[in-house]
Amino acid sequence: MKIVILSRNPHLYSTKRLVQAGEKRKHEMVVVDHTKCDLIIEKKNPVIIYKGAKLENVDAVIPRIGASVTFYGTAVVRQFEMMKVFTAVESQALVRSRDKLRSFQILSRAGLGLPKTVFTNYSKNVKDIIKGAGGTPVVIKLLEGTQGLGVVLAETDNAAESVLEAFNGLKARVIVQEFVKEAKGADIRAFVVDGVVVGAMKRQAKKGEFRSNLHRGGSAEIIELSEDEENAALKAARVMGLGICGVDMLQSDHGPLILEVNSSPGLEGIESATGKDIAKSIIRYIERNV
């Protein structure tokens, strides 16, 4: 098969591993920078031009779309879908996952556990927003933040009010969530491929930090999920419509609480922590569907 990986950087760990796994299984692997694709749209003849040539005879696409280029990246994925090419992550599911508010509404409707979350349209009544999330400490997140960027822990009412007023002044949309103390600065990532949890790790924030992201200096170790955690991860992937995703959860006194469903999860942390060949699982998922 000819498999295209949509990635802006062929040297990233995840991109390189997918190329290695695909080539090992005798596939032709092509890395394409989606931001440099031109889309030609005409009646029943969608075309993608890359480096002056048509992208043709493609059997499958693995989107690795960064948050900053979601709009154009999903347009490229849609164009492949119009060309009847199998995409490992569908364009609409990718769009849904990038909208934190919409994601929470979908997960809530499905009956999944979530931290108590408040969203407003730049409301000046910040005291009520904080109260709505259960009072301080609260976590304040930019809607477009990734890798722990744009995430603030406000431990007092004054701090929370100041942060919210600052974000409002910048016209930056945020969500306010309860701080789950019993998680002790740790979260779980379950990596789901084609309706199966193929790997899970527990990420622990470094001392003095509450964000457990590995990009923020957190550490990771393999973990065996409880039945509730595994079921929550699989249901979250299903209701979000994602064939590949990383489901981030907190362990709370009242069961797993979902923080995010990531449609372009990195492979380095999960493969290092678990020792599992996640890239191979992704290639085999494509083989089963094409």
Task: Provide the token pair at 92.
Answer: 């609409």
What class, spelled out in words, does domain 2-89 have in CATH? alpha beta
Q: What percent of the chain has pLDDT over 70?
A: 94
pLDDT tens digits, one per residue of 86-140: 999 999 999 999 988 899 999 999 999 999 999 887 778 889 999 999 999 999 9
pLDDT at 276 over 70: yes
Q: What pLDDT score does 215 carry? A: 54
CA–CA separation, 205 vs 190, rounded Å?
Answer: 17
Whole-angstrom Cα distance, residue 3 to residue 179?
Answer: 42
Indicate where the chain has its CATH 3.30.470.20 domain(s): 182-263
Mean pLDDT over the full length of the chain: 92
What is the pLDDT at residue 210?
58
Q: Where in the chain is the domain with CATH 3.30.1490.20?
A: 117-179
Strands (E), the chain: 2-6, 28-32, 37-40, 47-50, 53-54, 60-63, 86-87, 117-119, 138-142, 151-154, 174-178, 186-193, 196-204, 219-222, 244-252, 255-262
- Residue 145 pLDDT greater than 90, yes or no: no
Outline which parts of the chain fall under CATH 3.40.50.20: 2-89
Domain 117-179: state its class: alpha beta
> What is the per-residue pLDDT across 168-225, written as a single tens digit (0 to 9) for each?
888 888 889 999 988 888 899 999 999 999 999 999 877 755 565 555 557 789 999 9
pLDDT of residue 278: 98
Per-residue pLDDT tens for 39-83? 999 998 999 999 999 999 999 999 999 988 999 999 999 999 999
Fold of 182-263: D-amino Acid Aminotransferase; Chain A, domain 1 (3.30.470)
Six-digit token pair at 74?
């999903």
